[in-house]
Structure 1
Amino acid sequence: MALRDSDPAEVGGYRIEDRLGSGGMGVVYLARSASGRRLAVKVVHGQYADDDEFRARFRRELAAARQVSGAFTAPVVDADADAPRPWMATLYIPGEDLGTHVRRHGPLPPGRLRDLAAGLAEALRDIHRAGVVHRDLKPANVMLADDGPRVIDFGISRAAEAAAMDALTQTGRVMGTPPFMSPEQFASPHEVGPATDIFSLGAVLVYAATRRGPFDSPSPWETATRVVDGVPELAGVPEDLLPFVRLCLEKHPKSRPGPDELLHLLREGRLPEPRPGTGRPDTGRPGTAPAAPPRRRRRWAAAVAATAVLAAVAATTTVLARAGGSEPHQLPAGWHAWHRQAVDPTGGNPDTVGPSGPFSRCVLADKALLCAGDSIMAARFSLADGRNVWAKPMDPTPSEVRSSGGGMIIGTRPGAVYVYGADDHDTKTRSEETQGRTTYTVQALDPDTGEQVWRTVVSTNTDGIGPDTAGAVATPDGVITTVGNASDSYALLDAAHGRVRWRHRLPESLTASSGDCELSGAGGQPYLTCRHLDEGTAGRTHTTLAQLDPATGRSRWKVTVQGAQYLYGQTRGHLVLGTDPLTDKLTGLTLVNASSHILTTVRLDTPRNASGAHLVRGTVYLTLTSGSVRAIDPLTGRERWQSNSTVEQPGPPTASATRLYLASPTGRLAALDLRTGQVTGTLPGRDDGDNSGSETAAAPVLSGDALYVPYGTRAVYSVDVHDL
């Protein structure tokens, strides 16, 4: 690349011979020392030269970078952080960078691709051991030397981004190259660490294997959105490298393995057991109650909104600006702290009695909060101000003594929310044949208006057994639910009209009403879990877990597990099962590989009883009514931490990337550090909920930085998590 008139003749006594390239942080020159050694000299842009804090950080990073071995990187030879334009010189690595090579010659063959994966993992191991985080690992920063890949252009990256982080409250700058950045670089730049380089490693390998990145799109904005919230495109990646790449591209930083573990995976074909405290959470369905429907994965909506500024930049090292004097919180438009109570579904009828307590579940749908419970089939709250737009009762014609109980939201799809209803047949108005019976329905409601899209009767009985007992699962094809007056079958109700598309009997002698079978979802798939009494034994049981094909209802595969176990959810490619710790002390967990269906049993460090067990972001949380919480790594059984949340009778927890949130039926809220369990913030309970029962509340719901907390009687309040 030809030198320009403005380029210096020498830098630090090194004669400049050519221009190698430029980026967001500086210009790189080919230079030669007095002894004839060729060097790559990077001169920092003036915008950093005028920043004293950058210079201080640059000195510290240079000291760390000098400790990095030169076996897999370009070692630092010289530098000057006090020059008018700070610079650093590294050994020049002859050869093409990975990006240029792939553009010219196409994807790497499998053998060379595997060598690249090993070389980059070793390079990151050395870089991270020296206390350096690269933060801009991309094909252009990987040199294909004769003796293996070398990583270049580190040292400045850490100092430059650190300076940007300090300035973020003024300018909103974000550093990196969008196609190879990690989700946290968009969502929470202050929390960027070594795991960011692991994500970039996965993206670089996909590029080397396919000549495209896993999140490529025509615009930087769309690329950033896909990085944060999209599924990577991995077609063309060799089969034996897919597990390696998928682990690198986990959305949550703690879900990604370290370089040593990746090297072990390449050598042995599997990961070693994580060390205590280094578990890698993944998204999974919390909750142990067999009837609990699957939770939706929390989407990084805050991060996607923040990346909108990328539309104006090129897909290179970028500096983004946002107006204003402080980093804005990611809150719904017009949001303010609020608390609201849904309307009384009985219309204030004093003759109608029934349960009184918090909502059982709340979900986000169509930019609103939808909640169900306490005889409300569903109620809609505005995210910004809590306005209760509409509320539908479980039973439109309640009897004198209401028995239909709380409502349940099964799931959502665009334009509809799936719920269940119960119509108690009033003894004054119904015939003797129907007196005392309850008709259970599954319904699809319009989230905007609450109007009924369709309604399907699934059972009529006197037992109080409906879809809430054995669960119901929302799938793209519709709702899989138990049906029949004896709840002895399960069926698919299609999404468009609620018509029964297929129907099958539950295993012989087992019914949903006995509590032996339930439908649940994990990892985006529906499952049927049934507990069987072993013949000729005194109370011994075994459990079958079957993945259902939504198109036919048939089992795709089935496994048998000893004992009475329940499906907690899925994490890192494993289904997690365990006992109900309220009735049976939890001594271990059963893992089922979702691909190979191989069973593994892990023992807990210490057997535990608990009032609830919840799989959230790849960690099992055991909660007690006293407020005690224990975090268990489900892949090893090791206890990560134990904490007193100060929240009595906590409901299911919710987690962000950094904190765990628990709430009580009275609305007391606690935020715990996800790594240590330390309580970092609390809010007291509220006295406006009129709740005196012992029910647990629904899990809090996060939307960006807004947390929505169900409590009291049909009540919700909202708080900015930055205020905790």
Structure 2
Amino acid sequence: MAPQRGTGSGAEAELPEYSGQYRLESCLGSGGMGVVHLATSTSGLRLAVKVVHAEFAKDPEFRGRFRQEVAAARRVSGAFTAPVVDADTDSPRPWMATLFIPGPTLAEHVKRNGPMPPAQLRRLMAGLAEALRDIHRAGVVHRDLKPSNVLLAEDGPKVIDFGISRPKDSELRTETGKLIGTPPFMAPEQFRRPREVGPAADIFALGSVTVHAATGRGPFDSDSPYVVAYQVVHDEPDLTDVPANLAPLVRACLAKEPEDRPTADELMRELRSVAASYDTQSFVPSQRERERAREKEKEREGAGWTASPGRGQTGVAFPSAPAASARSTAAASDAGTDTGAGAGGGNGNGSGDGSAHGEGTGSGSGVGGGRGGGWRRKRVVLAAASLVLVAGGGFASVRVLGGDGGQADGATATPRASGAAVAAPALKAWATRPAAKKKGAPQCSYGAGKLLCRQPGLVSALDPADGTVLWRHTVDGAGAVGTGAPPVESGGLVHVLTDQDRRVQALDPDTGEVRWERDISAYGSRRFVGGTLLLTAADGTVTGLDSATGDPKWSRRIPGQPQAYFTSFDGDRSAYLANVTGEGAAARTRITAVDPETGDVRWDARLDGRLEPVGAQDSALYFAEIGGAYSDTVAVVRYAPGTGGGTGKTVRVALPVRLEHIRAVVRGDVVYLLSGAGGSLAAVDMAARKQLWRTETGVARSSAPVADDQQVYFTSSDGRLLAVDVRKGRISGDTPSRLGDSDRITASLPEPVLIDGRVCAGALDGSVLGLDGNDPAGW
């Protein structure tokens, strides 16, 4: 590909062919600060790469602002933005690569289709409030929220272009006399005292953006930016044609004083009271949806597909969930097959109708190809199937009927084993609240034939077949049950760790009664491995307690490991310690495998790089290799220790695109890496020594993933349970959200639990869900 030609002169006449390792394919948009290109990574990931104009690259102050933009964008999760994949702010032409998100901007959508209908407008406002909550919690103020900086993606609005955003702890400040922003969407304080702009300015902009979406104009409208600035500071907003049920909220957002405006959290709560459930249709314009459906139907006909007989599917209705889920299996599976483009030019502040990922005025287009994953069976979610509080029981459970009105037991599902000739019976879906008044997401494990779930102050045992609560155990005193699901170790006892009073209790799995109890307040680290509770004291001494009796087995220091913080993995017989020394290219990791029964060292190795254990399989240990200034995962490493004192074997597979804040699971030779900052999920085959696929789930925060031979499962911060097909790398199942009335952020999200083909998971509304893992398309 020849270098792209620009329209300018001098240094801008010939644009670069590459930015870093990314080949620039076409121009998406151009503005006063830079050019945004469409690019493709080595693995085929479609990216939007912003390259700074050469004249600004020579300006140290602008380089500082661009570094600030990259840092701000990295700090915000990818569910509400275009996630940053890579960047080089020290390059001769600084650049930043973000995930390419197909879809029009809000400015383009309103220009083409006119004002949004009320239901869609409510969803837009709620989505932007949620996005600002995420941005503000990351310590960032956007300062330039406007219709051209809002992408209407299929899963909700995305806020882009952090070019003038500012982290609260940034040392850069607005210069005296300079106004930065776009007048129709700037808050009064941005004109009066720009040095003191905070999160409330983004709320003001949200109000202005909502008016634009509702009416096609702003609340302060004039051809002159100076008149607009005067109106913003002194006049009342014009809310004509804004829906009556939203107008009071919009007016509150447009209050002249920052302290009079609601926060993003308060706005979300008020929006819930405005409408019990938001309209969950896609933001993609309706005519585009019709085009997508027609294209998919043509593909089905062209491929000779036939509609197999439909069957009633099961579903679960939740009191706090939307009436219908926008994330249908078909939309989720085909996400990422669209293409979108936009181009244009605008002023340096990007105040025009910018392209989807660029700056300035432009237009965008999208084509939904829909390379679908086959026939999507119709499913019926029974609105009448609701959680019923059982009198005196303190829990809620539901039995879900099939689409024909009968019990779902007779429905069939595709067997998990490929090539099986007989269909397996479908598993009944159920939902349970272990305790009606308890808040907090239940974190569950499986043992002694029961699903054991932890919530603050409570441990419950559930029947995994139907969700029936078998017993509850209350943790006395101020201490709440510790983080993580309750482990079941030797003797089949259920172990409860408490945080504040620092005690461990062993419970009878059949009754929940305490078998033994021990004070562990002298120990700073605690880990159950096999039949042993490993406790580490401040001086590094490790004590192993018998989890069946609570009696000490052994006590000793682990050679070469001054700080004994253990890691372990299901199905593996060792506990691992990792100690990193050195920095950068000189970093090395010492790994020690310890027998939890005796405290003996099974093997000890020194490996190159900064490594974090992520899984174990067939006597081999798997690591994420950490690199770069942002501690991203750059490679996956497999280490198989040698036998008889021999040298071990190391295999390293570099990632084509690094991942942030990963959690991982190992299944066979494949390592699945899930990014906690943006929801990227990658599959790396260590036997083939390559990345198989990478997909964008759009999940801002997620649990650690779990996997079987067919699916990777995880939960999201909005209470959804998701499944991704391990062969295609596409979302194959997605439940409605289960947030309840909680706006809290939990330290760790509940991991799904796999039990004989069933997938169980807790959510923030306090419920536990059991679904058929054989048929995620029917969720």
- Which has the greater radius of gyration? 1
Say yes or no: TM over 0.5: no
TM-score, structure 1 as length reference = 0.44
TM-score, structure 2 as length reference = 0.41
